């Protein structure tokens, strides 16, 4: 992929890697502001390694500024293809938004999941994140019935994209 900006690169990391952990903490702080609490959906480091998924960190020069991850997921209602992965922790630091970094991270995490054999990608997001929803819709995602940890939340929205 062509760099979004000079010095841009994406590296595979573990969820426990200091750069990944730092960015997860930042996104959790943002969720607390938006929704009153951090995201309580369970996530374990071993879900993102060894063929079970991947955790990607985007760097601008040597500074970690973005994340995107995938893990295998049961094919939820409304998804026509499988196997499926669930996208997690799509995040770009606020000071670098609107530069194409989120779109680059989404493309990278989808490519990584497809290379592992995924036929579809699903995700949960929230109504208080309209920019994220707009990104997903612009990249071919469509709304599907609720699934996962927040399936009953009135603020949650679920989306899917079939790769095939």
| pLDDT tens per residue across span 52-70 | 999 999 999 999 999 999 9
Give the CATH number of domain 8-162: 3.40.630.30
User: β-pairing, 120-126 with 84-92?
Assistant: parallel
In the chain, % of residues over pLDDT 90: 79
β strands within the chain, DSSP E: 8-13, 53-60, 63-73, 84-92, 120-126, 142-144, 156-162
Q: Tell me which residue has tokens 């109504």.
A: 127
Q: Could you give the CA distance from residue 83 to residue 89 in angstroms, rounded to a whole number? A: 20
Query: Does the pLDDT at position 1 exceed 70?
Result: no
pTM beyond 0.75: yes
How do the domains of the chain map onto residue ranges? 8-162
Contact yes or no for 148/155 (Cβ under 8 A): no
């Amino acid at each position: 992929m062509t760099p979004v900006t000079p010095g841009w690169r994406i590296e595979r990391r573990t969820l426990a890697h200091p750069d990944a952990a730092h960015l997860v903490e930042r996104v959790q702080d943002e969720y607390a502001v938006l929704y009153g609490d951090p995201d309580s959906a369970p996530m374990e480091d071993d879900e993102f390694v060894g063929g079970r998924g991947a955790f990607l960190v985007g760097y601008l020069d040597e500074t970690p500024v973005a994340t995107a991850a995938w893990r295998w997921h049961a094919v939820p209602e409304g998804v026509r293809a499988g196997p499926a992965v669930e996208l997690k922790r799509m995040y770009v630091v606020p000071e670098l938004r609107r530069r194409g970094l989120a779109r680059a991270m989404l493309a990278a995490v989808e490519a990584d999941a497809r290379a592992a054999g995924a036929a579809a990608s699903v995700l949960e997001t929230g109504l208080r994140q309209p920019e994220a929803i707009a990104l997903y819709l612009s990249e071919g995602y469509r709304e599907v019935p609720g699934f996962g940890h927040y399936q009953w939340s009135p603020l949650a929205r679920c989306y899917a994209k079939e790769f095939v």
